[in-house]
Amino acid sequence: MKITDIKNKEQLWEFMTEPTPSLVESVARLDGPMLVLGGSGKMGKELVGLVKKADNLNGVSRKITVASTFSNPLSNDMKDFEAMGVKCLKGDLSDESFLESLPDVSYLVYMMGFKFGSSNDWRKAFYLNSVVPYLVGKKYSKSSIVVFSSGNPYPHTSRNGLGCSENDPFEPTGVYGWNIVARESSFRTTAMQNEHQKICLYRLMYAQHLSYGVLVDLARMVYNDEPISVAMPAVNLISQRDANEVAIRSFEHCTNSGWVLNIAGPVWPVLEIIKRIGNIMEKNPNIIDEEPETALLADDLLSHKTFGEYRDKCEDMIEAAAYWVMNDCESWGKPTHFGKVKHDY
């Protein structure tokens, strides 16, 4: 199935949790239980779904635990996880007694983070994005850990270029940018303190889904004739299932010194994206602001060299997002704020 063939949320789930043969082979080499921290967010359930399907194909019964606040009263995440045979532990990771109660595991996916609103509560932001990661890293001193991070602190580069590579130094601005640096620094510190701990700093840029993401946000703005700012003139595009797959396969590349990986997808001009969406919808996008010469972009050549090409094509994702919005299909109500005149992180 291609993403352009998806008509409802059931088909979308099957699509987003379909493992490739390479993922199945990689998961077969991961021997031991897995814990996902902060797994009730946008990507966690489908990441777990990929692992479960790969394990089933391998004939393996792996113990997987998801620990999260499960704070959304409208969500069925706990029931969905439990239906997959996943154990759910509800609690706040900033509560050290809850953290210490979590099971020991071989593999840990760290997805917890505090982003939107972080500029309004810097104390909470730094505690959740710096102190808590250190405490987690200290507890899981012998585990392999994939740390979900971000390319947010990279400097802006030419909108016509490839973006920053993993070796480019950070130039963080704002509370959220410095929080990313703090999170990575905390895990680097615990790895330095524990020779058996292995980590991957997984710098993700804009994973695309049909229930949320940059593409459906832009499509919704075109459809509703809202003004679309091109103050960020270009963006990386990668599907969520490709992003989740790379995260899982990154366990085999974790190192004690920290393997740094950009996961981003190709660079696309925002004007080209909204033009394509407008053509499908037969609408003229309402474009405002001037295009600057630079944008926040990441080069993920290392990911391509390590894992090969991604499955999902950007052209298909753009088309699918347009029809998803036109058909008033499911939205998670989690806007990215991309294309808005003012971002508030």
Model pLDDT for residues 197-254, shown as the tens digit of each residue = 999 999 999 899 999 999 999 999 999 999 999 999 999 999 999 999 999 999 999 9
Model pLDDT for residues 26-43, shown as the tens digit of each residue = 999 999 999 999 988 899
- 125 or 332: which leads in pLDDT: 332
How many Å apart are CA 177 and CA 260, to the nearest integer?
Answer: 17
3-state SS class at 153: coil
User: What values do phi and psi take at 235, rounded to 5?
Assistant: -150, 145
3-state SS class at 65: strand
Task: From 170, 191, 189, select the one nearest 181 (Cα to Cα).
Answer: 170
Q: How confident is the model at residue 175 (pLDDT cuts 50, 70, 90)?
A: confident
Pairing of strands 267-269, 234-236: antiparallel
pLDDT at 341 over 90: no
How many Å apart are CA 43 and CA 111, to the nearest integer?
Answer: 8
Q: How confident is the model at residue 122 (pLDDT cuts 50, 70, 90)?
A: confident
pLDDT at 344 over 50: no
pTM comes to 0.95
3-state SS class at 292: coil
Q: What is the pLDDT of residue 206?
A: 85
Q: What is the pLDDT of residue 124?
A: 82
| Chain centre to alpha carbon of residue 205 | 7
Superfamily of domain 16-207+237-266+296-307: NAD(P)-binding Rossmann-like Domain (3.40.50.720)
Task: Using CA atoms of 125, 130, 135, 141 in order, give the dihedral in degrees to the nearest 10.
Answer: 140
pLDDT at 114 over 80: no
Q: What is the pLDDT of residue 119?
A: 54
Give the residue extent of every domain in the chain: 16-207+237-266+296-307
